[in-house]
Structure 1
Amino acid sequence: MQDTIIERIDHTVDGVASLTLRADDGPLAPWEAGAHIDVQLPNWLTRQYSLCGDLDDREHYRIAVRQDPLSRGGSEYINLFLHKGQRLTVSLPRNHFRLEKAPSYLFVAGGIGITPILPMMQAATSAGVPATLLYVGKAHEAMPFATELRDRYSTGEQVILFETNHHQRPDFAAIAATLSPQTLVYCCGPESMLVDVERAFLARRTRIERFQPVAKTFGPNMSFQVFCAQSQRTVDVDADTSLLEALLDAGYPVGAGCREGVCGSCEVGVVDGQPDHRDDIGAPQGRMYACVSRSLTPRLTLDL
């Protein structure tokens, strides 16, 4: 964990707070485009936010948070109660949305989904890789960082703003038909837009980041056992208990952020057995996310 101080709070558009954090003591951990951090709030909540600052600025982190009318307490607290000079503890950066190497990129962002895309656009253009950003929002004045993008890039060419109050949402199928097969597509935004992008770009490489899990249907939960290889202990996981809850109850210090399978803070190593992956990240081989995933075998061996 890292101790930070809020150096600035900017409300670039109505209902969005942009926080610039600096280290309280020593340098901040390095990060790459697509990374996010856990933020421990004074109201005892922990929330995950994409880093959206300047990749060349290694002294600060920047996050941006839109106030959600259905907030569970995180976005509302950040927008209404945090103040300059306040201390916040944040995690080391984690990255499940890495910018892979490609000969060209198409970035698609909707609303606050611009946050992980901003540093991706910077990384691509700084490396001299052709990149286009399609940024969709109701109107310019409601789109976080739209002015920053217009000042930094060639609008109409590198950055194309779609204001849905005046125009329809982009025709993603038509756009897909014009792209080179080698172009890598990255997208973050509201679920309805993500679904449209997935359909339009189905036949090519597309990377999606969601803020909320996709509704899925699984079979009934079954109880299973977990053998923790390092400590040589066995933990029982009941059908009505998550793997994360069982591990925490047994005293294992597993991270617990979103508890919805989208942030990756509860990642654990799998030594043996077959996990039932229920996350929205896509667990790498030999890993699983304990908050939502379970076991397809009666026994799992974890690297704990």
Structure 2
Amino acid sequence: MPTRPQPPTDLYRPERPDQFLTQLTRLSRVLFFLLALPGVRRTSRPPAHVPAETPLTVRARRELAADIVEFTLAAERSCAPLPAWQPGSHLDVILPSGRMRSYSLCGDPADTTVYRIAVRRLARGRGGSRELHDAVPPGTRLTARGPFCAFPFAAEPTVLFLAGGIGITPLLPMVREAARRGLDWHLVQTGRSQAALPYAAESAALDPTGTRITTHHYDTDGYPDPAALLACAPRHAAVYCCGPAPFLDSVRRALAARAGQPLHAQRFTAAPVAEGAPFTLRLRDGTRLPVPGDRAALDVLLDARPAAPRSCRQGYCGTCRLQVLDGTPDHRDHILTPEEREAGALLPCVSRAKEGTLLSVDL
């Protein structure tokens, strides 16, 4: 029987100790001793949430309806696929002026070559929509953060979609998905007039039988009765609603009388602060920012730090997440776990602190 060759005697047990490992071991022992001393503060700071940025080019623009323009955005390298998204997602678009605005994705998630957003011109807005309408032709380079999904579609078996004007934009991909899955769905699309109704043709193409879509025009039909809108689907249907605040609030009040019917909603703007009390936000450099009872902490923070990350402003996406160093928050978000809150996470877009207290954050 042949003898098995034996490994060299120094393969596993070197006769001389490795000098690098020896020094590393000594150093680790010293550090362990120092950290074990009483009074030594040991903190762990989570990495700041910095959304990824994607360079985009405006490939095309199209007039959809009165004061509404659709922009088709593609990667600067036309062959590069864009980050994936799901119905209900939105992009944070950084405009040439440096303004950042959030817009719902209204295209097809299966198409990874382009993003589509639709923008309504707001004459009395903050300037973002006017810039896109007036100063962003095809070929313009933009930057986007995201996509983010603060309005996910759960694909319930029976679904009612309620769209107020430009509120069709996050709902249209959901309608496509509902049609693709063969769900029992109905879409009610409302607007000021027929000319002001975006994506009416695309919606109709998803309803070959002509039985699943109802349109309502304010100029001929008057303001819609929310109870009548809800009656377009069975009482057990899940309701997805997006539109102006008065439209959304009226639907919410009508739905309160139909106990047990789920509502998924997205507002164009952050909801007004309810039961807010004034407190003070203190930044890492010692800056103190008084937060009035009727303003969100994030809005006050953006006055002092315009580049602070933000997106949905409704406590869903987590983009504005901060770390609390001292103080007790009044958490009002929808995504943080009890463990994350206990560890000091805070979403300043919706969360606050008790009246007169000081909340120190790591920013």
**TM-score (structure 1 length as normaliser):** 0.83
1:137 aligned partner: 191
SS at match of 2:176: helix
Cα 1:239–1:283 shift into 2, 3 Å: farther
For residues 3-22 of structure 1, the aligned pairs below 5 Å read: 3-22=55-74
2:226 aligned partner: 172
Q: Which amino acid aligns with 2:253?
A: R
SS at match of 2:163: strand
Separation in structure 1 between the aligned mates of residue 192 and residue 209 of structure 2, nearest angstrom:
17
Cα 1:243–1:54 shift into 2, 3 Å: same
Shift, 1:40, TM fit:
0.5
1:294 aligned partner: 352
Residue among 190, 208, 216 paired with 2:265: 208
Cα 1:158–1:55 shift into 2, 3 Å: farther
The structure in which a higher percent of residues are helix is 2
2:290 aligned partner: 239
SS at match of 1:54: coil
Maintained 8 Å contact 1:136/1:169: no
Shift, 1:73, TM fit:
0.9
Q: How many correspondences in the alignment?
A: 296
1:43 aligned partner: 97
SS at match of 2:146: coil
2:243 aligned partner: 189
1:230 aligned partner: none
CA deviations 1:102-130 (Å, max 9, x no partner) are 12110000111110010011111111111
Maintained 8 Å contact 1:46/1:257: no
Maintained 8 Å contact 2:218/2:224: no
Cα 1:109–1:91 shift into 2, 3 Å: same
CA deviations 1:64-121 (Å, max 9, x no partner) are 0000111211000111111111111001211111112412110000111110010011
Maintained 8 Å contact 1:237/1:246: no
CA deviations 1:117-146 (Å, max 9, x no partner) are 100111111111111100001222211111
CA deviations 1:201-224 (Å, max 9, x no partner) are 122210111112333344442235
Shift, 1:27, TM fit:
1.7
Q: Which amino acid aligns with 1:86?
A: T
SS at match of 2:219: coil
2:85 aligned partner: 31
Maintained 8 Å contact 2:291/2:300: no
2:279 aligned partner: 222
Separation in structure 1 between the aligned mates of residue 86 and residue 211 of structure 2, nearest angstrom:
25
Cα 1:253–1:40 shift into 2, 3 Å: closer
Separation in structure 1 between the aligned mates of residue 64 and residue 306 of structure 2, nearest angstrom:
41
Shift, 1:296, TM fit:
3.5
Q: Which amino acid aligns with 1:187?
A: C
SS at match of 1:290: coil
Greater CA drift, 76-85 or 247-256:
247-256
Maintained 8 Å contact 1:7/1:21: yes
SS at match of 1:31: coil
Separation in structure 1 between the aligned mates of residue 303 and residue 118 of structure 2, nearest angstrom:
34
SS at match of 1:94: strand
Aligned-pair Cα RMSD in Å:
3.3
Maintained 8 Å contact 1:236/1:246: no
Unaligned runs of 5+ in 2: 1-52
1:85 aligned partner: 139
Percent of paired sites with the same residue:
35
Maintained 8 Å contact 2:327/2:359: yes
1:96 aligned partner: 150
